[in-house]
Amino acid sequence: MERINHPEELAVWKNEILAERIPSKKKIVISSGTCGQASGSLQIIDAVNQELAKKGLKDHVEVKVTGCHGFCQLEPNLIVYPEEIFYKTLQPQDVPQIVEKSILGNEIVSSLVFEDLKTAQKAIKQNDIPFYKKQERLLTENNLKINPTEIEDYIALDGYQALANALFNMTSEAVIAEIETAGLRGRGGGGFPSGRKWEICRKVESNIKYIICNADEGDPGAYMDRSLLEGNPHSVIEGMIIGAYAIGAQEGYIYVRMEYPLAVQHVNLALEQARKFGFLGESILGSEFAFEIHLIEGAGAFVSGEETSLIASIEGRRAFPSQRPPFPAQEGLWGKPTNVNNVETWANVPLILRKGADWYAKIGTRRSKGTKIFSLVGKINNTGLVEVPMGITLREIVYDIGGGIQDNKKFKAIQTGGPSGGCIPAEKLDLPVDYDTLAKAGSIMGSGGMIIMDEDTCMVDVARYFLHFTQEESCGKCVPCRIGTKQLVEILNRITEGNGEEEDLEKMEDLSKTIKTGSLCGLGQTAPNPVLTTLQYFRKEYESHIKSKTCIALVCKGLIAYTIDPDKCVGCLLCLKSCPVDAISGERKEVHVIDQDLCIKCGACLDVCPPKINAVSKVTGRKMARILKNASGKRV
């Protein structure tokens, strides 16, 4: 296929691609995003190709390698079409069996399909799995159907037709009106109405304008954007071109964080293809519109995700944020009007134009429209990416989709919004997920990380973790953030080490207010949220750390001790051998003892003590004080 010079040629191309495809042909789809590859999908791909070659089936079976399908925990997995049989957590040696039964025959290898842990019910098709049932996968479903290195797969799914329609049948105002009617709000965390943002930038008079796709997805525990860029890069590119047309921009940048090498690779490839077929460059699709996109690889700084810092980084400088106003829409990249949106926002754009704003606006709540992708991770049974309509409750996400807490433990909190967000407790689980409700609860929707915490997670430690994170990532430009976060971390360190004082809690609340009001950019303005929400909902945990020197979750090293129960210990030497600092003494078949002065609390002894014996345990509070007292008594 040559360069596409007219929307009609695009339609012809799509039909040609579809004509070559035989729906009844056997097809194996293998999920191979970063999670998949880390779990061994590449070996599965090799095994499939080898087995098909061995059986002489190469020409009769199509093998499609795609991005992530969402249920990362069941990686590596594959789906056999047209029957849609979903095979999970595969080993290369499982492949011959699958080919034998499901490719050569029409049978199912029942040992390799999904089985619900609780009900023992098997699910053959992916969509029969409870994890997928309540999802509404408007953006992520296409990851199943697309080999991200081949543009044809995107074209076959009506790719670039929204762009063609915009360029030939819509004015830039009409495009923006459509996005506004749809009610699309920024998916990067802020939730600003995208149509209004575009309109502001469109109205600024300038012969040069830029648009940026923010793919510096730095929130720990969030990887929606990685999955979209790896699995369906053209959807983001198409969204950007449409946005550029609406705003009147000539150049665009995709800023991808360096920690996502596969996303970088797939975006680069997709940009090349888009140029080759005339979706980028001069005279796009034969229209008068010209636009080019460059990929910029980040260099490992969380603050780059803040839009003014991102702009500084593209300019080749330190990622320092700058005072707003002027907003990037007025003075952005190299002083020119610039519109910055996040990956998921851009990916929604072609969908809205294709299906219509009215259709889109029916999904979600009154003020939050469409779907949102979340990464559901932490102490949850089903971990992975979930795409749900706005307005779904947290409980539905955690229990219906996520399958509840691992190892039947008790739910403690759900952390949303990364270091800018907060921890929401069990009593708020029935809150609907939308921008405004989560903000009211003290957290934010953020870019979409949802980390589930159970009874073994210490909320003071979680607050310390996030503040340590923001303090390290603070760029240091403004004082409230630079010094304030440092002070917060020091107080939290003290509390988790067992040296907290009663005034600390008030001090932290005071300090948090100052940081929130005084900081220059979003990083500082939201940095205290993890502290404030944990203080609000889990104050008792702070108090017990300070007053009774107790870490109920047995996490904070300064507040716990490891001990061996002399009544249970059989003297097997396992813990003694595993101790990296030789803190355990004893002979075979004699009770072992931990020297509390030498112990570094690494937990190796607890791990190796056989569950049957169960002699090693962690203790806190009074029990710990007693053990330490006995230990020091013996020394005297």
Give me the residues that bind another protein (CB under 8 A), please.
34-35, 37-39, 72-73, 75, 217-223, 226, 258-261, 296-302, 313-319, 375, 377-379, 383-384, 415, 418, 449, 451, 453, 457, 462, 465-466, 469, 473, 475, 580, 600, 602-603, 607
Nearer to another protein, 168 or 465 (CB): 465
Tell me how far, at minimum, the Cβ of 548 lies from another protein, in Å: 24
- Bridge partners of residue 620, in order along the sequence: 560
Tell me how far, at minimum, the Cβ of 581 lies from another protein, in Å: 8
Sign of torsion, CA 409 410 412 418? positive
Nearer to another protein, 223 or 360 (CB): 223
Residue from 327, 343, 340, 345 nearest 211 by CA: 340
Instruction: Check if the beta carbon of residue 451 is closer than 8 Å to that of residue 394.
Output: no
Nearer to another protein, 32 or 102 (CB): 32
Strand ranges of the sheet holding 78-81, from the earlier edge strand across to the other edge? 61-66, 26-31, 78-81, 85-87
Two tokens, residue 174: 């009409």
Residue from 424, 451, 484, 55 nearest 219 by CA: 451
E-assigned strands of 250-354?
251-256, 292-297, 338-342
Nearer to another protein, 221 or 239 (CB): 221
> If you count them, how many residues does the chain have?
636
Q: Strand 338-342 and strand 210-215: pairing?
A: parallel
Tell me how far, at minimum, the Cβ of 625 lies from another protein, in Å: 24
Tell me how far, at minimum, the Cβ of 396 lies from another protein, in Å: 19
- Bridge partners of residue 373, in order along the sequence: 387
Nearer to another protein, 357 or 606 (CB): 606
554: left (phi over 0), alpha (psi -120 to 50) or beta: left
Tell me how far, at minimum, the Cβ of 95 lies from another protein, in Å: 20
Nearer to another protein, 60 or 317 (CB): 317
Nearer to another protein, 329 or 413 (CB): 413
Tell me how far, at minimum, the Cβ of 378 lies from another protein, in Å: 5
Tell me how far, at minimum, the Cβ of 405 lies from another protein, in Å: 12
Two tokens, residue 227: 């999955």
Give the separation between CA 566 and CA 216, rounded to whole angstroms: 53
Angle between helices 224-231 and 233-247 (to 10 degrees): 100
Instruction: Check if the beta carbon of residue 143 is closer than 8 Å to that of residue 69.
Output: yes
Nearer to another protein, 103 or 478 (CB): 478
* Amino acid at site 79: I
Tell me how far, at minimum, the Cβ of 253 lies from another protein, in Å: 10
Instruction: Check if the beta carbon of residue 593 is closer than 8 Å to that of residue 584.
Output: yes
